[in-house]
A and B are shown apart, each in its own frame.
Chain A
Amino acid sequence: MFPTDFRYVRARSLDEALDLLDEAAAAGDEAKLIAGGQSLLPMMKLRLAAPQVLIDIAGLPELSGGGWYGPVAGGHLSYTIGALRTYRELGRDTLLAGGLVRGRDESAPPHQAEGIPAVTDALAVLADPQVRARGTIGGAVAHGDPAADLPAVLLALDAEVVIAGRPGRHEHKPGPPHHLPRAPRPGEEPSNVERRTMLLDDFLQGIYATDLAEDEIITHVKITAQGGRASAYEKFPHPASHLPLAGVAVALTFASGTLTDSGGRVTSLSDGSIASAAIAVTGIATRPYRARAAEAVLKGAFPAPDVLAAAAAQVARAGDGTELSLLGDQHASAPYRAHLAEVLAGRALARALARAESA
């Protein structure tokens, strides 16, 4: 099968891509951006999507690159990932996978990156190698698939989405508290591109529904590094599509503190209790979500087996403890998916804890 007829254009810059979106809208055409095409083309081949104009953004320089930046307000380093980075590239990224990283200054010693194992876990079980070679992080987030893997991990890492559009078009929800819009530098030309940053948790809205407007483009995804080491992702894949029937991502931080005595000796005060737990679930509800009821069970607690089990038992519940409305289909009923999520949450917690201990 091949898609229905459409017009194709390759954008050369972010500005041009935004113009092309406006031109299509003015002409009353349905336009779609295409990045890796690993969600859009399968839908177009099955005629589940039939855009009239396809705008290829795969070459946009403004959507590539990324790296560690910071510290942002609040003191955290943030890792910014260009929307066009593929799953394959992310899987080979030493900063995410952990390993020796050399800076630009060749004389400086390399430093050991901790890595974020939940990301590497997800990339290893997501789709297949050929799809991972093309699929992008921007596409994964923009698509709004209720059973996407990477968005669950990104949710557990409090990821943010950076979105570009024309100034003054949309009323924007305020961004995350530490995000301060940059004041223009003296002499800088006023830009015709406006960027907004929002939490992925606010961005994801429902089945294939996100906060992205039709005249906007995702440029980056940002992870603020905390609790990355003690993290894990577990999924139960559908054997043919590889999509998760259920998937659970976990990122933990532990209580810490140091005491320096009069002799200058430093003692760690960490008692092993959990300072914060982030748990995100995918595949079982209308969108990947944060299991806040389960998180609350863990906050401030010691990670004893009964505590972990009590937390896992809450993963299919909303923050206020009420039952979420869950998805079921011919592959797996809603109660079965909820059961899988509980089991996977237990496994992900155990794996994240084991990683914290070995660090």
Chain B
Amino acid sequence: MPAAHEVYVELTVNGEPRAATVPARTLLVHFLRDRLRLTGTHVGCDTTQCGACTVALDGVAVKSCTLLAAQADGHEVTTIEGLADPGAGSLHPIQQAFQDEHGLQCGYCTPGMVMAVRQLIEDQPDPTQDQVRHALDGNICRCTGYQNIVAAALSAARSMRDGAARAGGTDSAADPAGGREG
């Protein structure tokens, strides 16, 4: 196959197969926003530093502003729109925690924060506050001062552990890590 200005890309986005021919220089974030009209994924910088564009590529959080749509060909992408279970009619526990803990002000960074927290909790289901702050190294918020974002991440991790414990048939009250801390 010779190198081409236009590339045909076929990928799965939020569980649905999607295909299009796009200019080779199309960044994944522009493909998602402009082609698929999935505008939950934001662009906040030109330097790969802010994390507002975070999505999951084959289940791993990446910055969609620093990935060509062509590189995502054949892969699976999950955006903020695909995070909550569509059948449940409710928010994903991480989204719910951001609402409960008031983990946002203007909301611009929020989709990226939520997608980064999803990765954190998958890697470390019971993170410390330090681990949360470290895991959010690639996400910038201009409004909140991070305090409530960290609180939301910790609270989401707790509720997801409780949920997993219930699903596993264990009594969550017996889980010493469960329940709210002081």
Contact = CB atoms under 8 A, between A and B. Distances in A.
Interface of A: 1-10, 20, 24, 34, 37-38, 41-42, 45-46, 53-56, 58, 88, 124, 127-131, 133-134, 240-242
B25 interface: yes
A129 B61 contact: yes
A226 B57 CA distance: 36
B136 to A, nearest CB: 8
B138 A8 contact: no
A9 B1 CA distance: 7
Contacts, number: 102
Contact of B138 (A10, A24, A128): A128
Contact of A128 (B23, B51, B67): B51
Interface residues of B, number: 38
Given A9-B4, A38-B48, A2 B25 contact: yes
B67 A7 contact: no
Given A7-B3, A7-B24, 14 more contacts: A2-B25, A6-B24, A6-B25, A10-B70, A37-B67, A41-B27, A53-B3, A54-B24, A128-B137, A129-B120, A130-B63, A131-B63, A131-B138, A242-B137
Contacts of B57: 133
A37 to B, nearest CB: 6
Contacts of A127: 137-138
Interface in B75-94: none
Interface of B: 1-5, 7, 23-27, 30, 46-49, 51, 54, 57, 60-63, 65-68, 70-71, 73, 116, 119-120, 134-135, 137-139
B1 A10 contact: yes
A9 B6 CA distance: 10
A9 B2 contact: yes
Nearest to B69: A8
A129 B137 contact: yes
A184 B112 CA distance: 52
B66 A8 contact: no
A130 B47 contact: no
A217 B51 CA distance: 31
A186 to B, nearest CB: 36
14 contacts: A1-B46, A8-B68, A24-B3, A37-B66, A45-B27, A46-B47, A55-B3, A127-B138, A129-B120, A129-B135, A130-B119, A130-B138, A131-B48, A133-B61
Nearest to A55: B3
A74 B110 CA distance: 55
